[in-house]
């Protein structure tokens, strides 16, 4: 009985995993944030992430087919060419057809992979005409966001545990912030990013966005959020001791809600446009 209990205890994680699958979808990724037992990307909320998920699934089928093919070859070798079944091995050293095949077929597979890969890279790196521009500056260890067209700027800091518990709904641990980015739905958002001290990285998985924030350099990416909601990301570069505590929160809202937020934001975080340009640069 004691041995049985020990076996059950050791098997508990696997049993919990199976139960999660049977319960219906717990193992699938959520929208905008990580999920328990997650086995895939976060759900897509932008055209770029749609492309990434499609390409990932294509590669999964290709690598599964290659793995199955190699496994079949290994089994054939084990069964057909062992010493008992094949006591007198062949002395053949070259086979033109096989050598041509194992050169040409991998090239064809790589071309099949490369064509959609180049297309997706082009779409990601070619920013379309934008409706909104946001500058994200990585600091040790928080983010400063600037809406240059609207002349507003604010700093976004991770909520403490006490602050997090006062929110309704309660945001995920280590991901909620005091001042999130707010963008309108179905609008092209151009993101300029840099670092004020060390290299950071601006990443929001559901948008398919991940780009380095390098001091002295302005990198550019973009996204178009197609679903309202709250989306979380984090700095994805090892930037120091509090690297794990500088999350990114993006709220996608309707155009009316965005206009209302913008009116309040201009009152709260209006930039001092009278300051000299060098003073503004030094502040950032």
Q: Which residue has the tokens 């090239």?
A: 107
Q: 3: which 2 tokens?
A: 């041995």
The answer to whether the CB of 41 falls within 8 A of the CB of 52 is yes
pTM: 0.79
The pair of structure tokens assigned to 209 is 């966005």
pLDDT tens, residue by residue, 31-79: 888 888 888 899 999 999 999 999 999 999 999 999 999 999 999 989 9
Provide the CATH topology of domain 132-283: Immunoglobulin-like (2.60.40)
Residue 28 confidence (pLDDT): 59
Q: Where are the domains of the chain?
A: 47-81+100-125, 132-283
Confidence of residue 282 (pLDDT cuts 50, 70, 90): very low
Of 157, 245, 124, 137, give the one whose Cα is nearest residue 199.
137
Rounded Cα distance, 184 and 147, in Å: 13
pLDDT at 98: 87
> CB 246: neighbour CB atoms within 10 A?
22
For the stretch 141-150, pLDDT in tens is: 999 999 999 9
Q: Indicate the pLDDT class of residue 8, thresholds 50, 70 and 90.
A: very low
Please name the residues in contact with 255: beta carbons below 8 A apart, sequence gap of 6 or more. Answer: 184, 185, 187
What is d(CA 217, CA 203) in angstroms, rounded to the nearest whole number? 17
Instruction: In whole angstroms, give the CA distance from residue 181 to residue 269.
Output: 13
Helix residue spans in the chain (DSSP H):
2-24, 47-80, 96-125, 161-165, 255-269, 277-283
> What number of residues does the chain have?
284
Mean pLDDT of the chain: 87
Banded pLDDT at 169 (limits 50, 70, 90) = confident
Give the three-state DSSP class for 128. coil
Per-residue pLDDT tens digits for 216-268: 999 999 999 999 999 999 999 999 999 999 999 999 999 999 999 999 999 99
Which band of pLDDT confidence, cut at 50, 70 and 90, is reported for residue 20? very low
Tell me the pLDDT band of 161, cut-offs 50, 70 and 90. very high
């Amino acid at each position: 009985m004691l041995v049985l209990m020990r076996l059950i205890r050791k098997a508990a994680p696997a049993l919990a995993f199976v139960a999660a699958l049977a319960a219906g979808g717990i193992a699938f990724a959520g929208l905008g944030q990580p999920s328990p037992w997650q086995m895939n990307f976060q759900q897509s909320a932008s055209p770029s992430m749609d492309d990434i998920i499609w390409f990932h699934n294509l590669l999964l089928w290709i690598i599964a087919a290659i793995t199955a093919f190699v496994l079949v070859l290994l089994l054939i070798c084990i069964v057909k060419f062992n010493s008992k079944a094949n006591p007198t091995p062949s002395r053949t050293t070259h086979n033109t057809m096989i050598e041509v095949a194992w050169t040409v077929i991998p090239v064809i597979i790589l071309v099949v992979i490369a064509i959609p890969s180049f297309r997706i890279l082009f779409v990601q790196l070619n920013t379309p005409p934008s409706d909104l521009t946001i500058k994200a500056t990585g600091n040790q260890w928080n983010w400063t966001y600037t809406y240059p067209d609207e002349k507003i700027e604010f700093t976004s800091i991770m909520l403490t545990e006490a602050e997090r518990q006062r929110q309704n709904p309660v945001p995920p641990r280590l991901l909620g912030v005091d001042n999130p980015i707010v963008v309108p739905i179905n609008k092209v958002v151009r993101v300029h990013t840099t670092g004020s001290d060390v290299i950071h990285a601006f990443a929001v998985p559901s948008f398919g966005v991940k780009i380095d924030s390098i001091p002295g350099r302005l990198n550019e990416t973009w996204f178009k959020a197609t679903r309202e909601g709250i989306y979380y990301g984090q700095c994805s570069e090892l930037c120091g001791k509090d690297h794990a505590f500088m999350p990114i929160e993006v709220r996608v809202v309707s155009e009316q809600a965005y206009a209302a937020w913008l009116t309040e934001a201009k009152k709260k975080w209006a930039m001092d446009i009278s300051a000299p340009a060098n003073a503004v640069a030094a502040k950032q």
